[in-house]
Structure 1
Amino acid sequence: MIEPEWIAADWGTTNLRVWAMRGAEVLDRRETDRGMGVLDREGFAPALAQATEGWGDATVIACGMVGARQGWIEAPYAPAPVAATPAMVRVPGHRVWIACGVSQADPADVMRGEETQIAGLLAARPDFDGVVCLPGTHTKWVRVSAGEICHFQTVMTGEIFALLSRQSVLRHSVGDPDDDAGFDAALSDALSQPHRAFGGLFRLRAESLLTDLAPGSAGARLSGALLGLELAAAKPYWLGQQVAIVGSSRLAALYARALRAQGVEVVEADAEAVTLAGLHALWKNTGGTS
């Protein structure tokens, strides 16, 4: 039986990831498919108990969609600008604390989960002054200065790629991206001429019918075009800034490649490492108690 000092939890819409912790040391880790999206309000406690079976009754520090309005308990948004270490709310009757998200009034935007990763990044780089890019289904571009989240922008590139490649007519032509040159060319074209890139998306289907465009090349060009459109939209964030990228290794590498091609100074951070560092900072804020 493992007896952790505390338990870290990253509870998203699809999955629940938990770590048994001694201070900042990981003793054990588990993952289940009991995400917020498949649970009603009464299902969270049993799902957590099952995921942490054998770990005792240590305090749990959680981030992510578990704190959404449809989650276990709503952890309200803190309006930006706000200190990068988020506030927390406690689940009544349980030794569970949930990190609050961050909101922005104008233009309207919200984040939930990314604020904890930013806190973890700053735990390792307390003097960081620049932009944090968190690639994913809904990529976040976050301006950070003096230990605060100043403002941010969400871009739905990941979701749009999934919709176009799996549910649109392009699904017949697009495969897993496998053409670096095609990706680079499509990204450059979209960044310099967004209107032409948007108007040319159907060309991927036409070329697959007329010239046997390989699915891997079509996927790379679609990925490059959408990322180029995103960089054009987010240019006020990354232009002239140091950018820290937090994400999965493959996706983070694509963003790093694209930004470095524009002369941007890029540093990369492991998503799991900064999530745990952020949750550890929150646990210390509780005094390491229940």
Structure 2
Amino acid sequence: MDTDDRRRAAVRGSIEGLAHGDAFGERFFPLLRTEEEARALITARRLPPDPHWRWTDDTAMALDLLAVLAAHGEVRQPALIARFAATHRADPGRGYGPGMHALLPRAAAAPEGWRELAHALFGGEGSLGNGAAMRVAPLGAWFHHDLDRAAEQAARSAEVTHAHPQGVAGAVAVAVAAALAARGTLLALPEIAARTPEGPVRDGLLHAAQLPPDTAPEEAAATLGSGHRVRAEDTVPFALWCATRHPDDLPTALWATAAGLGDVDTTCAITGGVVGARGGTGALGEEWTRRREPLPEWLDEV
């Protein structure tokens, strides 16, 4: 397989894995009434009953990011925020958070002013949420040949919506993980942490690396967080812990991630995007693909 074919396969596996994880994880919100009901399904590995799995803003924004990469070969920040804004305007019911509902309509009118708009969120601190991390795995697969480039481009992709350093750090960590997965090399939390900017996200990755090998996903989620606060620091370490535990087994990786509950669509999107970059999504089987909302046909040309 030549370099371009390897990149295409890794990117396609990553976006498919991300979309599967996103749509699967989202089923645990509207369809399951209690934590006990969710855990019973997870323990038995019974798919949620809804036959139609619609993906959320996690996948919508990942597709926008891929479209910009396909058009320009790199992250062009005004083009990226304009694309995010247009997609949000066309379909705002995909589950966007309050920060994006505040930011993207303003960015639609003035995409060149993205920096001031992103920094103005949350009292001028910028968002430190998990939204930049949830969408970035395919970018890591795209730039898997150059880890420094993957980290730099991930930071650029994050800054347009998540200006807080920890929002950026979450995206960098996930992109580096996806790049390593696409290379087929050892997927190790310390190496990911070494390329992640200092702060709580990096600290969480290092903490995750020290968890005993027999730690259950529920225990890891209780220790690391699984997105209950919708911050990069309490989402990314757990999702990447799940991905690094099961780098060659996407179904097990997604079920383990779901067991952490929390922000399940986002944690599963991150895990799916990373593990999918390594081996694709074939192991999920026909039932998952039949249930999940299709991805756009233009991806075939990326």
TM-score bracket, shorter-length normalisation: under 0.3
Pick 1 or 2: higher relative contact order, CA cutoff 8 A, min separation 6. Answer: 2
- TM-score between both structures, scaled by the size of structure 1: 0.26
Name whichever structure is richer in strand by fraction: 1
Q: Provide TM-score, normalisation by structure 2.
A: 0.25
Identify the structure with the greater helix proportion: 2
